[in-house]
Amino acid sequence: MTSASTSDRPPPAPLVVVLVNYCTPDLTLDCLRSLEPELSAFPGAYAIVSDNASPDGSGAEIASAIAANGWSGWAQVLHLPRNGGFSYGNNAAIRKAFAAELPPRFVWLLNTDTIVRPGALRPLLAFLEETPEAGLVGSRLEHPDGTRQESAFRFHSIAGEFEAALQIGIISRLLKRWIVAPPLPDQPARFDWLSGASLMIRSSVLETVGLLDEDYFLYYEETDLCRRAARYGWSCWYVPESRIVHLVGRSTGVTNSADATKRRAPYWFASRRRYFISHHGLAKAVLADAALATGTALSMLRNTLLRRRPSHPERFLPDLIRHSALLNPSIASADPGRGGT
């Protein structure tokens, strides 16, 4: 038996793009449509859509659309047995890609509520190729009109929680070094963590630090991953040349910018609590809750005195107290389907 020639071998798979769908078929298909010309420039790159057991049948709908549009050569649907959350859906696709004969060198996590601008992929790959110490890179996220969104951050801290809730000029200036969402530059820059809406990760990072923590049902999972990567010496970089439209909150309904006062889901609080206890310990998690609650109360008082519209989610203070680290000192699963609060 003769071995296959080099020309007969399949091209390497340098990149897998992972999208997690839960009842968002139109958004997912729009994202795939924008992704098609980007992937065509990189032979072997492909996309996996993890469907988290969508009860609306959208997993099958997306699979049919992939076939109808002739995308089967580069896109596929992975049907999962339950809705285990963002980390769960991403990890299932990553494990599938890593088990392939030619595993990818890079993993691109992409929200279904995103549209890939032309030329958005190449700068991320180029930066990782040219910067060996960079383990994760993120895009400039923007609204459809091109207005920039917050997408690169400092790690959360007690002072940062207070500032984020209060946001008064003099306080923000005093706490400048702890502001979680600082101004973004127009050139590539290093940050502590990046938004998971468009996050490319070197595969060796995931092999070293592990996959996303599935005990985060939704939110804070990318913050946790970036923090774990930092402990191993990997850095995170914001690459604004890569531009992605992010239809904020459309895939989750939790942080929609058009309805900032919508009540937060219990899993948001559970994920936040898990992050602080895991990385800072219970005492600092309690202090972070107190800082956030104090800043929120002062902000609410200011809005009342100045007759401004509410700027915090509905019932945020009582919900924060109910889900606080003081009253819930464990880091139980944030998955509502597995006993999370």
Strand residues in 80-133 grouped as ranges (E) = 106-110, 114-116
Strand (E) or helix (H) holding 152: strand 152-153
In the predicted model, is pLDDT for residue 172 greater than 80? yes
DSSP class per residue in 171-200? HHHHTGGG-SSPPPPSS-EEESEE-TTEEE
User: Mean pLDDT in the chain?
Assistant: 92
| 11 pLDDT above the threshold of 70 | no
- Residue 83's alpha-carbon distances to 47, 80, 86, 183, 200, in angstroms, are 20, 8, 9, 35, 23
What percent of the chain clears pLDDT 70, i.e. is strictly above it?
90
Q: What is the pLDDT of residue 161?
A: 98
Average pLDDT score over residue span 222-240: 98
Nearest alpha carbon to residue 337 among 78, 28, 48, 81: 81
* Domains of the chain and any CATH numbers: 6-148+184-249 (3.90.550.60), 260-338 (no CATH)
Residue 92 and residue 74: Cα distance in Å, rounded?
Answer: 18
Residue 10 pLDDT > 90: no
Q: Worst-scoring range by mean pLDDT, 146-155, 187-196, 244-253?
A: 244-253
Instruction: Convert the pLDDT of each residue in 94-121 to its tens digit.
Output: 999 999 999 999 999 999 999 999 999 9
Q: What letter does residue 311 receive in the DSSP assignment?
A: -
Query: Residue 252: CB partners within 8 Å, gap ≥ 6?
Result: 218
Residue 124 in contact with residue 137, Cβ under 8 Å? yes
Distance CA(61)–CA(292), nearest Å, equals: 42
The most confident of 1-5, 9-13, 156-160, 167-171, by mean pLDDT? 156-160
The amino acid at 129: E
Would the pLDDT of 14 be above 60?
yes
Q: In the prediction, which pLDDT does 332 show?
A: 67
